């Protein structure tokens, strides 16, 4: 992932140094597991642990140099580690293992750690949404369907629904974490032909993983699930970002993403305060959706394994984790700093001449004894007149001889408080979020 979208907390998990350090820990633990079974002398296992090289930039360079000879990254890694430890202890490194035992188990360690970082960032976003939803619980605004005024809602209800969706994404990330927190050290085709299951159990326990049956590789539906959890999170962020972008349009101007001192919205037009953060998030969500397809295609491998998945995963798994983390942090900042204009929300609701109350008027006419279709035509006729003549919807109804409702009934139909009286139902669900 490019530097622009990489935050250190996540990106540090996917460096070459971090990858080789995790491989090394798997290898050392495997030797210690073999020693517990009496296969490896205890002194040699202790020497492997004590003499294991420090994984730094210099070691990464040595592995890269060796790989130019072996054309195999794990083989190059093992050669460098064994040379650093020296015989006879070093000879036990990678004993009975195949490359995927190390690579797949280490990758699952990394993805589990990445999931923990994502869960922390996801929780922060959920809490920010919940906090601001409560803040604007009673801030009335027009609800829009198809981009057109529909009925009244509140800005708090909008934020609360986002919080509930973000919380579901958090649950998906937690499930994906459990799915990916697995390991395998079962040999070339997963039959433990040259390694005992006890070694796998020892390594996985030390790394916080669950041992699972596998072929040479851990099944890739697990990795696809991780990618889906990331893409689903990004889709929710895009939902919020798109709404903020709409609300920030000049014609609407009901809410704006934060705009800090010194920021420039346009190089040419000084008046501009463009929604660049949310536009960026909309774009990045497209990238993450593309990774799902690659992850699903990685599920079908030849026989007990091939490496067609490997090159894909070197790109999409780090990128997905890093991008999702960036998007979560970026969206949390937008929500925390969101500028809201309640007066403008009320002003915009009034722009449709009271038509947001057409349904309660319709229901009141039906309740008075009119057939629904007749009542609908009466309301629709007056609604169209309100648009065309620029007159208040209620005034037109009051002058229509076919509208027999009294003033009290009209008051009730046009009562904003009545329209919003049940929004607490949404906040009851929000309250359950921790």
Pick the catalytic residue: 12, 266, 293, 368?
Answer: 266
DSSP state letter for 12: G
The verdict on whether 266 is a catalytic residue reads yes
Q: Residue 148: how many CB atoms within 10 A of its CB?
A: 9
Helix 16-36 × helix 73-85 angle, to 10° = 60
The verdict on whether 146 is a catalytic residue reads yes
Residues ≥6 apart with Cβ < 8 Å to 153: 140, 141, 142, 143, 420, 423
State the Cα–Cα distance between residues 376 and 365, nearest whole angstrom: 9
Q: Residue 63: how many CB atoms within 10 A of its CB?
A: 22
> What does the DSSP assignment read for 352-413?
TTTGGGHHHHHHHHHHTT--HHHHHHHHHHHHHHHHHHT--HHHHHHT-TT----HHHHHHH
> What does the DSSP assignment read for 22-36?
HHHHHHHHHHHHHHH
Pick the catalytic residue: 146, 267, 271, 311?
Answer: 146
State the Cα–Cα distance between residues 300 and 296, nearest whole angstrom: 8
Residues 70/79, Cβ–Cβ less than 8 Å: yes
Token pair of 325 as six digits: 């983390």
Token pair of 370 as six digits: 């009119």
- Catalytic residue numbers? 146, 266
């Amino acid at each position: 992932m490019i530097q622009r979208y990489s935050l250190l907390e996540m990106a540090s998990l996917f460096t070459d140094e971090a990858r080789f350090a995790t491989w090394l820990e798997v290898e050392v633990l495997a030797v210690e597991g073999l020693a517990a079974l009496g296969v490896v002398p205890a002194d040699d296992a202790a020497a492997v642990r004590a003499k294991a090289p420090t994984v730094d930039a210099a070691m990464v360079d040595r592995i890269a140099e060796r790989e130019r000879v072996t054309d195999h990254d794990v083989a190059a890694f093992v050669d460098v580690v064994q040379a650093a430890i020296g015989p006879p202890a070093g000879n036990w490194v990678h004993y009975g293992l195949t490359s995927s035992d190390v690579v797949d188990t280490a990758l699952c360690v990394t993805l589990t750690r990445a999931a923990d970082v994502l869960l922390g960032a996801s929780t922060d976003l959920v809490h920010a949404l919940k906090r601001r939803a409560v803040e604007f619980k009673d801030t009335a605004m027009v609800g829009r369907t198809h981009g057109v005024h529909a009925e009244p809602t509140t800005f708090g209800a909008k934020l609360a629904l986002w919080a509930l969706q973000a919380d579901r994404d958090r649950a998906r990330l937690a499930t994906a974490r459990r799915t990916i927190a697995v390991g395998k050290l079962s040999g070339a085709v997963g039959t433990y032909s040259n390694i005992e299951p006890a070694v796998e159990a020892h390594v996985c326990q030390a790394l916080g993983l669950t041992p699972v049956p596998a072929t040479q590789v851990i099944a890739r539906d697990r990795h696809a699930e991780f990618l889906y959890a990331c893409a689903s999170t990004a889709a929710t962020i895009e939902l919020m970002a798109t709404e903020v972008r709409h609300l920030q349009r000049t014609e609407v101007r009901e809410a704006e993403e934060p705009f800090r001192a010194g920021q420039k919205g346009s190089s040419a037009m000084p008046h501009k305060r463009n929604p660049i953060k949310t536009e960026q998030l909309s774009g990045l969500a497209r990238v993450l959706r593309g990774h799902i397809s690659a992850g699903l295609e990685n599920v079908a491998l030849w026989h007990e394994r091939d490496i067609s998945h490997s090159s894909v995963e070197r790109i999409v798994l780090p990128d997905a984790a890093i991008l999702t983390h960036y998007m979560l942090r970026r969206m949390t900042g937008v929500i925390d700093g969101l500028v809201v204009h309640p007066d403008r929300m009320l002003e915009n609701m009034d722009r449709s001449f009271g038509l947001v109350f057409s349904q309660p008027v319709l229901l009141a006419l039906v309740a008075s004894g009119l057939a629904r279709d007749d009542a609908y035509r009466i309301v629709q006729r007056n609604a169209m007149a309100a648009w065309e003549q620029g007159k208040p919807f209620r005034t037109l109804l009051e002058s229509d001889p076919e509208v027999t409702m009294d003033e009290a009934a009209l008051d009730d139909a046009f009562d904003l408080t009545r329209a919003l009286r049940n929004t607490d139902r949404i906040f009851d669900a929000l309250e359950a979020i921790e």
